[in-house]
Amino acid sequence: MSSVKLVHVTPDAEKLIAYCARVSSPNQDNPDYAKLIKYLITHKHWSPLEMASLCLEIKTSRAISAQILRHRSFSFQEFSLRYSEATEFETYEARRQDIKNRQNSIDDMPSSIKQWFENEQHRLQDEANSAYDQALSFGIAKEQARMLLPLSTCTKLYMHGTIRSWVHYLEIRTGPETQKEHRDIALAAKAIFNEQFPTIAEALK
């Protein structure tokens, strides 16, 4: 199953952001920074938020990781099927296509169709995994054998970015226009973000 966990965060990140924001102030060491951070965010002075960073570990499918990797202001390290073998697959629920909004899907499919979709995923994953294992047994390189694997193949990646980048990512990807499976990851990331940066989180409300 998909998961998100903290890997690294800049120590005293909010204090550092305020310290850097006051670079031109004679009172740079002022320990009171809540009002300053609120001011920065209200007036969209984002550059001080580039002085600190956050790195998260994300486990998901190749289908969702492709969406995450589109956020080019981040740095990524992803599990490579060129060097390691695939071992797990994600299974997703069936949802109906929203005909008015192609970015949306609606969870109102009959249980029989949901069960069929789940069964088909398992069937195809089993077939693909069997072919993949056979390819490896023939001595086919991992970088070639991976072509037999579906988008539901599990992957792990590290996502590292400045606080400015995370604010933008969370603003976009926690909205209803994001695929539910990706939105669930973004919401889990937001929970970690809010815990690590409570002053910034409060200012963003």
Could you give the residue numbers annotated as active site?
Answer: 173
| 3-state SS assignment for residue 54 | strand
Dihedral angle over CA of 187, 189, 191, 193, nearest 10? -140
Q: Give how far Cα 187 sits from Cα of 43, 86, 121, 192, Å.
A: 25, 26, 26, 9
Q: Are 56 and 6 in contact (CB under 8 A)?
A: yes
Tokens found for residue 201: 């989180």
Q: Are strands 105-106 and 154-162 parallel, antiparallel or unpaired?
A: unpaired
The b-or-e profile of 129-143 (16+ CB within 10 A means b, else e) is beebeebbeeeeebe
Among 67, 41, 71, CA closest to 17: 41
